A and B are shown apart, each in its own frame.
Chain A
Amino acid sequence: MALIEAHGLCLDFPYYHLGARSLKKRLLGNARLHTDPSNRVVVTALRDLSFTIRDGERVALIGHNGAGKTTLLRMLAGVYEPVAGRLTVAGSIGAMIDVSAGVDAESTGRQNVRLRCLYRGMEEAETAALTAEVEAFADLGEFFDVPIRTYSAGMGVRLAFAMATAMQPEVLLMDEWFLAGDAGFLAKAEERLTRLVTGADIMVVATHDTSVVRRWCTRAIRLEGGVITGDGTVDEVLGPVEA
């Protein structure tokens, strides 16, 4: 049984690199007598979000670029902590947000799988099992023991996909590319995704691809400028399927 409960979540995203970041500007800025006391550019990324996601729900976060979808995913994953509000996520979390993070291009496929297992804090036995599974699925042959810097784009995607999907979390958080177009590169990838999605108690996927939403999700939450503007079944939020 898994559960996500959010109550009044807020997040201000500071954009330090827009000019407020440097020490010089900070010192000079403060000398400019209260014209702009905090002197930093803040974007309100998420504003007062409240929702409850229960067991068995597969939720799509929809909205335009910059609406806060990925930020919300990262917050659910525990990367960003809210500045206001309360968040509870019950269940083991599996995040597939940026799959290339933590991949070492100079290491072989096998070494990268080991590294990923260390990142996930797995034991030796689990690591061995997962390595065997990824090796079988990615089907790289002898390239599995060659630095991934030398891989073709397709081989890289296969390995990344195999590593990312080799888990069975109770709460699955993912960014859209897994479910959109390219991920269907093989029939077995499709099958694996289905197993991952249906095996999870809760799935939250950030996407702006309506076909992904209709195909995989039971509920949609629409975000606009960091605010929830729609929450309900897919048909309620997206409107009925166009003829």
Chain B
Amino acid sequence: MLEQLPAVTALYQVDAANPQRRQRAIADVVMGMARWRLAVALAWLDIRNRYRGSVLGPFWLTLSTGVMLLGIGITYSALFRLTLVEYLPHLAVSLVVWNFISQMVTEATTSFVQSEAIIRQMPLPYTIHALRCMLRNALIGAHNLPLIALVFLVCGTWPGWEVLLVIPGLMLIAINGFALALLLGMVCARFRDIGPIVGSIMQLFFFLTPIIWKPQLLGEWAALLPLNPFYSILETVRGPLIDGGGALIAWVAAFAYTIINVVLAAAFLVRFRSRVAFWV
């Protein structure tokens, strides 16, 4: 039938008997990535609108993280009988990176529901909405980075050359954030109860993950820490900054969790992409 079609600028074809789910999912990701400028513009708008009219804008987050650092730092360094200089760099890096990860996971649950109107109006690649969600949180999270520099300056901690490993570490977080925005975005569009569940789980993991406490405090139980995906991912950024690169086992685990996450997201995208428009 195709050969009798005239020359046209565009061709849209869909056949329910031959849904070509995999090709369409791949095209979704490729075309979505190619239109990153739209995702950046939307992420930027989200931030601007969220903090409209506020004097400090996203720096409110920096301020509140700073206050939290100081409060927890003083109290828990006394509790753990550590000097502030020993404790604060660990806490600063952990808290900032945790906030970043936790925001990404929480907002991943609304990546598609938030864009409901536009999803029903025009067929955009779903990748764009996930990318928008990830980029927005990356930009917001970056506002906390000066805190780490400040704490390092005050405490006189200077990481060595292994600090360059934060680059792959941050990339792992970004990839996971994007994959989760696709995966949780789809699941939570379909089942609206999962969003609040994710919120509670993140709260639980805040205490299960060595953020306030140092991993060494676990003694021999510390060997089990890589079972916690958040610890592993966190360690790929914290390790290079304060631990001379981080444990190899944490890096291996972080890569493994990332692969699982990406494979799951890809499988869901292939299987359910065409259903998202009905779910949002």
Contacts and interface: CB of A to CB of B under 8 A. Distances in A.
A170 B11 CA distance: 11
B14 interface: yes
Contacts of B7: 1
Interface in B1-28: 1, 5-17, 19
Nearest to B197: A23
Given A80-B278, A86-B14, A102-B118, A170 B9 contact: yes
A118 B37 contact: yes
Given A74-B120, A106-B48, A81 B8 contact: no
Nearest to B9: A92
A205 interface: no
Contacts of A107: 45
B35 A121 contact: yes
Interface string A116-129: 00110100000000
Nearest to A201: B8
A88 B12 CA distance: 6
Nearest to B40: A118
A60 B64 CA distance: 57
Interface in A83-131: 83-93, 95, 97-98, 100-102, 104, 106-107, 114-115, 118-119, 121
B208 interface: no
A77 to B, nearest CB: 6
A192 B235 CA distance: 60
Interface band, chain A? 35 or more
Interface residues of B, number: 40
Given A1-B6, A88-B13, A91-B9, A104 B49 contact: yes
Question: Could you say which of B37, B52, B118, B121 has the most chain A C-beta atoms within 10 Å of its C-beta?
Answer: B121
Interface in B184-216: 190-194
Interface string B115-158: 00111111110000000000000000000000000000000000
Nearest to A17: B192
A164 B164 CA distance: 48
Given A13-B278, A78-B12, A92-B10, A119 B191 contact: no
Contacts of B6: 1, 3, 90
Contact of A90 (B10, B16, B17, B119): B10
Nearest to B15: A86
A10 interface: yes
A232 interface: no
Contact of A16 (B13, B19, B279): B279
The 6 nearest A-B residue pairs measured at CB: A1-B6, A78-B123, A101-B121, A101-B117, A81-B274, A89-B12
Given A80-B277, A170-B9, 11 more contacts: A1-B6, A1-B7, A23-B191, A24-B193, A79-B121, A81-B16, A87-B15, A101-B117, A106-B52, A107-B45, A118-B41
